[in-house]
Amino acid sequence: MHQTLISAADLATHIDDPAWVVVDCRHDLMNLAAGRDAYASGHLPGAVFADIETVLSGAKTGADGVFLGRHPLPDREVLAEALRDFGIDDTTQVVAYDAHGGMFAARLWWLLRWLGHEAVAVLDGGMAAWEDAGQPLTTEVLTRPRGALSVRAPFVPTVTVREVLDNLESGKRIVIDARAADRYRGENETIDPVGGHIPGAKNRFFKDNLGPDGRFKEAAQLREELGALIDDPEAAIMQCGSGVTACHNLLALEVAGLPGAALYPGSWSEWVGDPARPVAKG
């Protein structure tokens, strides 16, 4: 069972295995059609496509009309139903990939763990690693038998905006922001309406989890770097712009052997939806 990362070489030996499902998670925050277009142009053999906006996220507003962020968590049963259509069941080994160092694939990795599914990994190095290994792409779209994925107790914790607000007073938990340093400081904000960060949050840009080759750094290096920021992973809250790239930091923590951190799903986009919530800059 692969539960964090898998190499292109290891995936290639299972690419035709009916007990494995490969999921293309490519996406572009500024061009919402880019991922599906890229999938149509060429994808890993047998791969299915999971759209970040419509499959791996839920409604942006709650029943009370309150804004929940740009990529709120989907309803667990609705998500499971979509994944069943991909052919995923309780014994399936799932491999997620993208072309962005795991930026979007980590979201599916985390979501499946949230549904209680252990056998899920991210293709280390993504599309580039697959092609560098001389492996083929295809435009063929296969139809898989429907799966029977169960919704079970999650392996991963979450926190609400209320809990993050309460933490401003208690300071018991460390908040880690996965966005680029300039956005964290409140500079060059082009996605959300307000720049800055949650007061007290520290910055760990998710791309710092990767080496120059676009693959994750070795576990020991990640443990040293992340351990310098986080004393107790179980007291850590991971966030980003909308709850997507925070999953990359959560994956890095798992690779490093530092499990237990929680995701704040609404992240910065939900936080600034209420002007009463404080903002820090610099």
Residues 100 and 218 in one domain: no
> Any idea what the CATH number is for the domain that residue 189 is in?
3.40.250.10
Q: What is the pTM of this model?
A: 0.96
Residues 168 and 267 in one domain: yes
Residue 142 lies in a domain: no
pLDDT of residue 29: 86
Helix, strand, coil percent values for the chain (each to nearest 5):
30, 15, 55
Residues 58 and 173 in one domain: no
Closest to 210 in 3D by CA, of 181, 251, 169, 172: 251
Q: What is the C-alpha to C-alpha distance for residues 24 and 111, in angstroms, rounded to an integer?
A: 14
Residue 102 lies in a domain: yes
Residues 10 and 125 in one domain: yes
Q: Are 226 and 257 in contact (CB under 8 A)?
A: no
Residues 84 and 187 in one domain: no
pLDDT of residue 273: 94
Residue 180 lies in a domain: yes
How much is the CA Rg of the chain, to the nearest whole Å? Answer: 18
Q: Say which of 96, 240, 253, 262 is annotated catalytic.
A: 240
Residues 6+ apart with CB under 8 A from 127: 26, 44, 97, 98, 99
How many structural domains are present in the chain? 2
Residues 113 and 185 in one domain: no
Q: Tokens 């299915």 sit at which residue?
A: 48
- Taking the CA atoms of residue 204, residue 210, residue 216 and residue 220 in that order, the dihedral angle to the nearest 10 degrees is -60
Residues 38 and 88 in one domain: yes
Residue 155 lies in a domain: no
Classify residue 116 by its DSSP letter: T
Residues of the domain holding 230? 161-271
Residue 46 lies in a domain: yes
pLDDT of residue 63: 85
Show the tokens assigned to 146. 């429907």
pLDDT, one tens digit per residue, over 194-222 is 999 999 999 999 999 999 999 999 999 99
End-of-domain residue from the set 132, 152, 185: 132
Q: What is the C-alpha to C-alpha distance for residues 80 and 151, in angstroms, rounded to an integer?
A: 7
Residues 11 and 128 in one domain: yes
Residue 188 lies in a domain: yes
Tally Cβ neighbours within 10 Å of residue 205. Answer: 18
* Secondary element (H or E) of residue 6: strand 5-6
Residue 152 lies in a domain: no
**Distances in Å between the alpha carbon of 260 and those of 176, 181, 231, 249?**
14, 24, 12, 12
Residues of the chain falling short of pLDDT 70: none
End-of-domain residue from the set 93, 111, 132: 132
Residues 20 and 128 in one domain: yes
Q: Does 240 qualify as catalytic in the annotation?
A: yes
Show the tokens assigned to 104. 């979007």
Residues 199 and 263 in one domain: yes
Residue 24 lies in a domain: yes
Tally Cβ neighbours within 10 Å of residue 144. Answer: 14
- Taking the CA atoms of residue 165, residue 166, residue 170 and residue 175 in that order, the dihedral angle to the nearest 10 degrees is -40
pLDDT of residue 30: 85
pLDDT of residue 274: 95
Residues 178 and 266 in one domain: yes
Residues 108 and 25 in one domain: yes
Residues 6+ apart with CB under 8 A from 257: 219, 223
Helices (H), 118-273: 126-132, 161-170, 181-185, 219-229, 246-255, 267-271
